[in-house]
Amino acid sequence: MVSTDHTRTGQRPGGGADDRVTVARGRQESTVARAVRVLRTERLAGITAVGAVAVLIVSLVGFGGGAHSVLPRIADIGAWLANDSQGSVTHANGLSGKADTRVTLTNAAGHPLKVIQDGDTVLVEDTVTGTVTRIDPAQLTVTQSVSYGSAGVQVVAGGGKAYVVDPVKGLVQPIDPDRLSVIGPPVGLTAPLGTAAVDGHGTAWVPVLRSGQLTPVSGGTAGAPVTVGSPGDLFTLTIAAGTPVVTDVTSATMTVLVPGGGRRTVNLPTGPGGPPPATLLAPASTDGAVIPLLATGSHQMVVVDTAAGRPTSVNLDGFDRDDLGGPETLGGRVYIPDNTTGRLIVYDSASGRLLNQVNVSGRSGRLNLFLNDGMLWANDASGAAAVSVDSAGAVHTISKYTPDLPGGPLPHASPTPTQTSGGGSLPGPGDDPGRRGNSGNGGNQSGGGNGQSGAGGQGGGGAGGGGGGRGGNPPPPVTRSSPPAPPTTKPPTTQPAAPKSPSPKPPATTPAGAPPDSAHGVSETPGPGYIDVKFSPSSGATPTSYTLSGLPSGASVSPDSVPAGGPYSFHVTGLACTGTPYKFTVVANYSTGPKQASGGGAQPCLVPSMPRSLKLNGSTQRQIGVSWQAPSSDGGAKVTYTVKGGGKTLSASGTSATITGLTNFSSYTVTVAAKNGAGSSQPPAQGSVQIAHNVNGHLGGDALYGVNVRSSTSASGTGNIVHTFDKGSTAAVTVKCEKNGGSWTDPTGSPTGDTWYQVTSPYAGYIATAYVTGASGAWNC
């Protein structure tokens, strides 16, 4: 505990009269949170019926029963990890894997917790009660706790800004990330809202599902909405390297909001008739342009390079019975949490193959996967285990329940199994010595036998401990930077499911009796006019070769056959980009017959580049002529064009179009995008033009008096005279248009009239038509 006195002064959220709270830090205090005062209730318009009740909690953190004169300095490269069963969060160093502090929340034990981290802003949302707590990472204290009235609200943060989003009521409320108090009135949007995200500039991007739009909210102001789909479509939103990317699950398209106002559309290989839309999972953010998508119903993954507009489909066969979570990507690898086995499935985008799985907990349970401080974190939210992974793929194991952490002892024990080779668990300190462990059933998948129940307290995984892989093979090795933490608590009451892990390469010696098995992780990556098919080899018996089936007429594949030792890829050409994906099958050939595995499908084309040399012609009344040149790259397919301007959208197969029904003397912005089966070019070619037809005329030179340029079409008086040309002048003038106005009469009595030319130079104004020659072709104003 801290020995010096310290006083913290707090003010009501919303800036009302002083409600000051003083805490003498020298007094003895128990654990993390001691609520000292409930601040006044203030109405959060529309987000709650009662209001946002802010409770300022100023407390000390107990340090494992011992007194400390200074607070520990937590790691600069780290993250806060939720401990749902304990109702606490643990901070860990990502580079060493060492836990360095723990903070316990009030009345949160057993509740799923969501941690929101943005630099020094650390917020924890209790998803059961809706309470949001702020942790001060410098003081290791809970400083504020706020209830926004509903467990269904979203709390999002980024770029130093934070927001509370009520998706049911359609409200976006800016909040102070330090005080958790509301800032101004909420921004009202049309409910229901999708899951929002905040970019690096602090702008919240909110999907408005009813209109098919994405609305930016900065501070308390809503920006112009961006149409990203059809009304009622289901969206997922990802902030990819700071850029909003919307995946329209209903139409199977991905829209990238390119900086500067453009957009790139990528067609995904998953279409109508595919998995239910609600099962599509996407990361909330990525460090780069690659976004992985997972359809959990079919266990199909699509990895999209948004910069190139290239989707790669990956079939995660072998995991079809597992509960997979949302994927994340770092360093060219995609990580998918397997909540059934407590491991991470790893897909390498460069090689197109599945790598060794990463062990997190080795047991069934929810794994939270996220990026923070340039590292990937996987957390067993209900247990003691977690890992951090750097961009090179190095794995660091984390024991969150390390004794004597700053923050005090654990409130109570929680299941945190330690894995045996077959996925079983060993007893921990304090376990009932008479408790019988689970039988080791890890080997019953494809040839391994079940182990016998262990003796009292022995945990499962007796004779069947070697059955973690297919056919009794040992599971793939798990990369560790340090030995696993010693067991600390009770083993689970049920044996963890045996991981189904494709090995990255065939075993040097095929295990005796290993059955024939198919290839795994078949991926299809498109190119301009071709598709590359890559796969991970069989993890069972060694086949004689691999071949590719499903080739359409006219297509060719290279090589014809892949030997058992690889390289594990095929190159398919002679394909047409028609909008329908090709789905190929890798055949593992055995003397006993083939074993087959299929990919997810791809088209042999990429998004084309933008059209070149855009030209706009607004010299014809009420229309714009548009012409351009074909893009430098058609992406390997026939290209058509989408022309937009003046609220109109045209389709063209050639390199010209005409937009009609416009207004003379108005300016318009026109865009032309090239489109093929893979998507639309972005940014599109863009230009602006005014529909106008200026005529070069001149004064007739026969005026006996000066010729006036007036600011209006009225000949009365002299107050509106802009300039007077000398009599007999033949000065050149630029005529914009002709219009009717007030009557005029030459000082000599003739001519007379009521028509005027609007001129733009050498002076802007109006001249009676009788004094200008050569302007008979002017348009009507």
pLDDT single digits (tens) 129-145: 989 999 988 777 788 88
Average pLDDT, the chain: 78
Name the residue with tokens 């943060």: 157
Which of these, 689, 755, 691, 701, lies nearest to 733 by C-alpha position?
A: 701
CA–CA gap between residue 534 and residue 563 (Å, rounded): 14
> Which conformational region is residue 215 in: left (phi greater than 0), alpha (psi within -120 to 50 degrees), or beta?
beta
CA distance 145 to 34: 11
Q: For residues 162 and 179, what is the distance between their CA atoms, to the nearest angstrom? A: 11
| Residue 624, burial from CB neighbour count under 10 angstroms (0-12, 13-18, 19+) | buried
Residues 6+ away with beta carbon under 8 Å from 494: 364, 438
How far, in Å, CA of 716 to CA of 759, rounded? 19
**pLDDT digit string (tens) for 369-391?**
999 989 999 999 999 999 999 99
Residue 277, SS3 per DSSP:
helix
Same domain for 568 and 529: yes
Q: Which residue has the higher pLDDT, 686 or 317?
A: 686
Which tokens belong to 361? Answer: 């907990």
| Same domain, yes or no: 703 and 770 | yes
680 shares a domain with 641? yes
Contact between 530 and 508 (Cβ < 8 Å): no
Domain contains 123:
no
What is the tens place of the pLDDT at every residue in 480-491?
333 333 333 343
Q: Is the peptide bond before 516 cis (omega within 30 degrees of 0)?
A: no
User: Is residue 249 over pLDDT 70?
Assistant: yes
Distance CA 674, CA 119 (A): 40
The CATH number covering residue 757 comes to 2.30.30
In a 3-state reduction of DSSP, which class is residue 265?
strand
Q: Is residue 493 situated within a structural domain?
A: no
Q: How far apart are CA 740 and CA 750, in angstroms?
A: 18
Q: Tokens 């951090």 identify what position?
A: 388
711 shares its domain with 737: yes
Residue 208 lies in a domain: no
Question: The tokens of 722 are what?
Answer: 């802009």
Q: What pLDDT does 215 receive?
A: 96
Q: What is the pTM of this model?
A: 0.65
pLDDT band of residue 677 (cuts 50, 70, 90) is confident
Q: How confident is the model at residue 304 (pLDDT cuts 50, 70, 90)?
A: very high
Same structural domain, 684 and 704:
no
Which residue type is seen at 356?
A: N
- Whether 706 and 648 map to the same domain: the answer is no
Range of the domain at 575: 520-598
User: pLDDT of 135-178, one tens digit each?
Assistant: 988 777 788 888 887 778 999 999 999 999 999 999 999 999 99
Same domain assignment for residues 714 and 765: yes
Please choose, from the candidates 735, 728, 731, the residue with its C-alpha nearest in 3D space to the C-alpha of residue 766. 735
Q: Distance (Å, rounded) from C-alpha 426 to C-alpha 435?
A: 12
- Closest of 73, 74, 105, 77 to residue 89, by C-alpha: 105
CATH number of 679's domain: 2.60.40.10
- Whether residues 682 and 703 share a domain: the answer is no
Torsion of CA 716, 718, 721, 725, to 10 degrees: 100
455-481 in b/e form (b: 16+ CB < 10 A) is eebbbbbbebbbbbbbbbbbbbebbee
pLDDT value for 424: 33
Burial class of residue 704 in the structure, from the number of CB atoms within 10 Å of its CB (0-12 exposed, 13-18 middle, 19+ buried): exposed
Flag whether 22 is in a domain.
no
| 656 and 701 fall within a common domain | no
Task: Please state the domain count of the chain.
Answer: 3
- In the chain, count of helices (H) and strands (E)? 0, 59
How many CB atoms lie under 10 A from the CB of residue 778? 21
Among 274, 356, 358, 265, smallest CA distance to 313 is for 274
User: In this structure, are 647 and 579 located in the same domain?
Assistant: no
Question: What is the arithmetic mean of pLDDT over 440-451?
Answer: 35
Same structural domain, 575 and 618: no
- Give the distance, in angstroms, between the CA of residue 579 and the centroid of all CA atoms in the same chain: 25
> With contact defined as beta carbons under 8 Å apart, do 306 and 238 qualify?
no
Task: Say if residues 385 and 361 touch (Cβ distance below 8 Å).
Answer: yes
Which 3 state secondary structure label does DSSP give 770?
helix
Of the candidate ranges 74-78, 170-174, 200-204, 393-397, the one whose mean pLDDT is the lowest: 74-78
**Cβ–Cβ under 8 Å, residues 78 and 89:** no
Residue 57: exposed, middle, or buried by beta-carbon count in 10 A (0-12, 13-18, 19+)? buried
Last residue of a domain, one of 690, 718, 745: 690
Angstrom distance (rounded) from CA 722 to CA 704: 19
Contact 211, 231 (CB under 8 A): yes
* C-alpha count within 13 angstroms, C-beta hemisphere, residue 348: 14
pLDDT-above-70 percentage for the chain: 75
- Cβ–Cβ under 8 Å, residues 279 and 295: yes
| 746 within some domain | yes
Same domain assignment for residues 744 and 770: yes
Task: Check if the beta carbon of residue 151 is closer than 8 Å to that of residue 130.
Answer: yes
The DSSP secondary structure of 722-765, one letter per residue, reads EEEEPTT---EEEEEEEEEEEEEE-TTS--EEEEEEEEEESS-E
pLDDT at 436 over 80: no
Q: Which of 598, 621, 642 is the last residue of a domain?
A: 598
d(CA 329, CA 391): 9
Tokens of 391: 């961009």
DSSP reduced 3-state for 356? strand
Residue 400 has pLDDT above 80, yes or no: yes
Q: What's the pLDDT band for 364 if we cut at 50, 70, 90?
A: very high
- How many whole angstroms separate alpha carbon 85 and alpha carbon 193? 30
Eight-state DSSP code of residue 778: P
34 is a domain residue: no
Q: What is the CA radius of gyration of the chain?
A: 35
* Closest C-alpha to 518, from 496, 502, 500, 495: 502
CA 734 from chain centre, in angstroms, equals 53
Q: Dump pLDDT digits (tens) for 717-732.
A: 888 999 999 999 999 9
Beta strands at 375-380 and 367-372: parallel, antiparallel or unpaired: antiparallel
First to last CA, the chain: 82
131 burial via Cβ count (<10 Å: 0-12, 13-18, 19+): buried
Which residues is 732 bridged to in the sheet? 698
* Domain-located, residue 686: yes
Buried b (16+ CB within 10 A) or exposed e, 262-284: bbbbbbbbbeeebbebebbbbbb
Average pLDDT over residues 281-310: 89
pLDDT of 515 strictly over 50? yes
Contact 612, 536 (CB under 8 A): no
CA–CA distance, 440 with 285 (Å, rounded to integer): 39
Q: What is the mean pLDDT of residues 460-469?
A: 34
Residue 65 has pLDDT above 60, yes or no: no
- Which pair of tokens denotes residue 220? 């308390």
pLDDT at 397: 95
Contact 269, 311 (CB under 8 A): yes
For 25-88, the three-class secondary structure string (H helix, E strand, C coil) is: CCCCCCCCCCEEEECCCECCCCCCCCCEEEEEECCCCCECCECCCCCCCCCCCEEEEEECCCCE
Structure tokens at 538: 């069989």
Final residue of a domain: which of 690, 720, 745? 690
pLDDT in tens, 91-138: 999 999 999 889 999 899 999 999 999 888 999 999 999 899 999 887
The pLDDT score that the predictor gives to residue 570 is 97
Tens digit of each residue's pLDDT (9 = 90 or more) over 573-591: 999 998 888 999 999 999 9
In the block, which residue shows the tokens 């990429």? 606
310: left (phi over 0), alpha (psi -120 to 50) or beta: beta
- For 612, the 3-state DSSP assignment is strand
pLDDT, residue 37, reads 31
Identify the pLDDT of residue 470.
Answer: 34
Domain membership flag for residue 538: yes
Give buried/exposed letters for 523-549 (b at 16+ CB in 10 A, else e). Answer: bbbbbbbbbbbbbbbbbbbbbeebbbe
Q: Region 197-225: what's the mean pLDDT?
A: 94
| Residue 13 amino acid letter | P
240-246: average pLDDT: 92
